[in-house]
Amino acid sequence: MIIQIEAESDIPIYTQLTNQIIEGIARGEIAPGDSLPSVRAFAADLGVNMHTVNKSYHELEKKGIISIVPKSGAIISPTERISEEKKQQIITDLKPVIAEALVLGVNKKEVQEFVNTILGEMKER
């Protein structure tokens, strides 16, 4: 899977990393059980600081997307049953983005098309 970081973006590099790894899993380019490169190798290959990769890995671990196993590295976790609480959290996160789109003049049908386009790129786990 290709990871592409925009160096001078407003979005911090570790967030870009986290988002791209999550999208990669959603698209099926990397699968549960696959391991991510070691922090050192990843940072060296991408040309970023080791702390940046570390921060992203910890963020992914906190979200329950990877598990960091000492010695064997970061491994993508299998899908678990999602809790109602978590679902509510996702709706809360989604709300401001959709609201912003509507306020900016996108109509509801278009929002639905956007969501469908994005879903089209990804597959269900």
Partner 1 sequence: MSFLIFFIVTLFIAVIQTFIPYLVKRTIVFGVSIPEQYIEDHMIKKYRKHYSLSVAFLSIIILGSYIVWVLGNERVDNQIALTGVIIEFALMLISLSFYLYYHGKTKLLKQQNKWVENLKAMQVTDLSVRKQDEMLPWYVYLLPILSTVGLMIYTIMNYDILPDLIPTHWGPGGEADAFTDKTPISAIQLTLVLLIMQLMFLGIHTATKKSGIKLSATSLQASRNRQLSLRKYSSWLLFIVLLAITMLMSYFQLMMIHPEIGEGTVKMLIPFGFLLLVLVGTLIFSIKVGRSDKELETRVEARIMDLDEDQYWRGGMFYFNRNDPSIFVEKRFGVGWTINFANPLGYIIIFLPLILIFLISFL
**Interface residues with partner 1 (CB under 8 A)?**
1-8, 24, 30, 36-37, 40-50
* Choice between 42 and 57, CB closer to partner 1: 42
Cβ proximity to partner 1: between 39 and 59 the closer is: 39
Residues 67, 74 contacting (CB under 8 angstroms): yes
Beta-carbon contacts of residue 117 (< 8 Å; ≥ 6 apart): none
CB of 74 to partner 1, least distance (A): 11
- 7 or 91: CB nearest partner 1: 7
- Which backbone phi and psi does 119 adopt, to 5 degrees? -65, -35
Helix (H) or strand (E) holding 109: helix 108-121
Q: Which is nearer to partner 1, 9 or 88 (CB)?
A: 9
Tell the smallest beta-carbon distance from residue 47 to partner 1 (Å).
Answer: 5
CB of 78: closest distance to partner 1 in angstroms? 19
Residue 67: CB minimum distance to partner 1, A = 17
